[in-house]
Structure 1
Amino acid sequence: MMQQPVTRGYSASQIALHWLIVVMVLFQLIFGESMSHSVRAARRGTALDPSDATLATLHIWVGFAILAAVAIRLVLRLRFGAPPLPPSSALLGTLARLTHIAFYVLLVAVPVTGILAYWFIPSLGDVHELGKPAFIVLIALHAAAALWHQLWLRDGLLLRMLKPGS
């Protein structure tokens, strides 16, 4: 097994990619329904509203961008590692690791199933759409945990994604 480097905090690149991915995922969650409208219109042979057509095209390109950003982020994670978790119970540490693994799985699986559904295997569209509620649950858990660390525990965990090396 490869030993990860020990680091005090995330690098500026890791932080920038984190927030870029956050913005892109939120865009997908908010405007992703346009892709569903596009697919339904294509099946019915009806015209698509121009704004839905634009948003559907953006949905595809943002999905590719997410996949690329996640690949870069994984490379940086392997190169620079991640700071250790603050002291806590074994259960909380395990939940934190599982949540991050789930994020990475979704950040790869959802764009890949979207690509496959759009161009090759339309039935994967249903699997792709399951990503939305999964992302919403994980984002809520992740944000709640970050706020709990910042406001209740006051252990500075949130600073790791705001200031390099913190």
Structure 2
Amino acid sequence: MATRSPYSGLQITLHWLIAFLIAAAWFLGDGMGRILDKRIEAGTTGIEGNTLHVWIGGAVFLLVLIRIAVRLRTGAPAPAAGSTGWQETAALWGHRALYLMMILVPVLGATAWYGHVKPAAEAHEIAVNVLVILIVGHTLMALYHQYVARDGTLRRMIPFLR
């Protein structure tokens, strides 16, 4: 198995914390449309009436911005030895799409929640589904690298994995 330098401890921590929070927000998202409708009907504004789903979404947004800043400052490990140009391009655009959706989903949610913009709520729901599809693809590719390609890619985010 090829050896590759891992991400920093901060990058790994942010990766798994964001993943956990996205999963938590997804599980807590059921019924948010009805809650938003009641919020709009009552004329509630500001943080009054925020749900755990809303707080977690805000935390995801902030942590993703921090993660982007850390990545711009420290970079990422080099691609796997032997990876082809198309694989590197797919990984680059896959990660860009993940980052875009991790920013877009909370922005749309906040726009709907604080701005009482129903079309943003509908777009938020669609964007969440796109994000989940990207996460599933990301996970499948990580497992492919670990168990098929055996190139050590997954160990960069899970250093204790053998």
| TM-score (norm. length: structure 1) | 0.82
Change (3 A) 1:44 1:64: closer
Give the superposition deviation at 1:41. Answer: 4.1
* Amino acid in the other structure paired with 2:15: H
Give the number of equivalent residue pairs: 149
CA distance in 1, matches of 2:130, 2:36: 22
**Pairs within 5 Å for 1:84-123:** 84-86=78-80, 87-120=82-115, 121-123=117-119
CA distance in 2, matches of 1:117, 1:40: 10
CA distance in 2, matches of 1:78, 1:44: 43
CA distance in 2, matches of 1:35, 1:62: 13
| TM-score (norm. length: structure 2) | 0.84
154-163 or 83-92, larger mean C-alpha shift: 83-92
**Pairs within 5 Å for 1:54-133:** 57-86=51-80, 87-120=82-115, 121-133=117-129
Identity of paired residues, percent?
A: 35
Stretches of structure 1 lacking an aligned partner (at least 5 in a row): 1-6, 46-53
CA distance in 2, matches of 1:41, 1:79: 43
Is the Cα–Cα contact under 8 Å of residues 28 and 52 in structure 2 kept in the other structure? Answer: no
Aligned to 2:46: none
Give the superposition deviation at 1:163. Answer: 2.1
CA distance in 2, matches of 1:43, 1:124: 13
CA distance in 1, matches of 2:75, 2:58: 25
Aligned to 2:9: 12
